[in-house]
Amino acid sequence: MQQYHHKWIDGSPINLSCNKVVCIGRNYAAHAAELDNPIPDTPLLFIKPTTAIVPLEQPLQLPDNLGEVHYETELAILIQHPVKSASPEAAVNAVGGLGLALDLTLRDLQSQLKEKGHPWEKAKAFDGSCPLSPFIPYHASMPLDNLHFELKINGLPVQQGHTKLMLTSVANLISYASQFFTLLPGDVILTGTPKGVGKLASGDQLTLQLQDYAQFSTSVI
């Protein structure tokens, strides 16, 4: 597995350590509905460790004998300043970059864990479960509440996401997470996935697009 380091879209390194990934579950109502999940009253948080992060451009290696692996495409937010108990306004000031990620999920295992009322970590935080793109430097003119992203597999659109459809906005997500976890420079926030999740298969070719800012490609071994 290739070692991961944060980098900008031009390939230059980002001088921030690679830390935790704070993920938001069920932040798009249509995705919650497609999995027959209730919509939470407050953001649903879980964490992926650094060992989950791999470069998106590296071919995806799916775990063996653990059931179906599903893709979930998400807007990724790179944190550049410490954030603790921050207001939404202060939270936005900590955003350093925007990217895309795949929240890979062992769906069969997750379903088993949910039925037993157990945590999801085995299904969500396994090694290589967070392929992460290079980042675009964020500036205030970028519309965090009006960003579009999509995933195509083998040339066919399968997921279309838009931040205006999020149940909780990017600024409020960062603020909310910071009430429970101190967000450190180099931490990443995954902001939830839209509807259209599904199974990955060997040979799949994936193309991820973030607005007109960047396009990323990867494949499944």
Residue at 115 is within a domain = yes
Q: What is the DSSP letter of 107?
A: H
The pLDDT, as a whole number, for residue 38 is: 87
3-state secondary structure (DSSP) of residue 139: coil
Residue at 15 is within a domain = no
Residue at 113 is within a domain = yes
Domain hosting 183: range is: 21-219
Query: How many distinct structural domains can be found in the chain?
Result: 1
Residue at 77 is within a domain = yes
Residue at 82 is within a domain = yes
Residue at 50 is within a domain = yes
Residue at 2 is within a domain = no
The pLDDT, as a whole number, for residue 39 is: 87
The pLDDT, as a whole number, for residue 177 is: 98
3-state secondary structure (DSSP) of residue 46: strand
Block means of pLDDT (10 residues each) for the chain, 221 residues, are 88 97 94 84 96 97 94 98 97 98 97 93 97 97 97 98 97 98 98 97 98 98 95
pTM (two decimals): 0.96
Q: List, as one string, the DSSP characters of 50-87.
A: GGGEEETTSPB-PPSSS--EEE-EEEEEEE-S-BSS--
Residue at 75 is within a domain = yes
The pLDDT, as a whole number, for residue 34 is: 86
Quote helix, strand, coil % in the chain, to nearest 5. 20, 35, 45
What CATH number does the domain containing 152 carry?
A: 3.90.850.10
Q: Which helix (H) or strand (E) holds 217?
A: strand 214-219
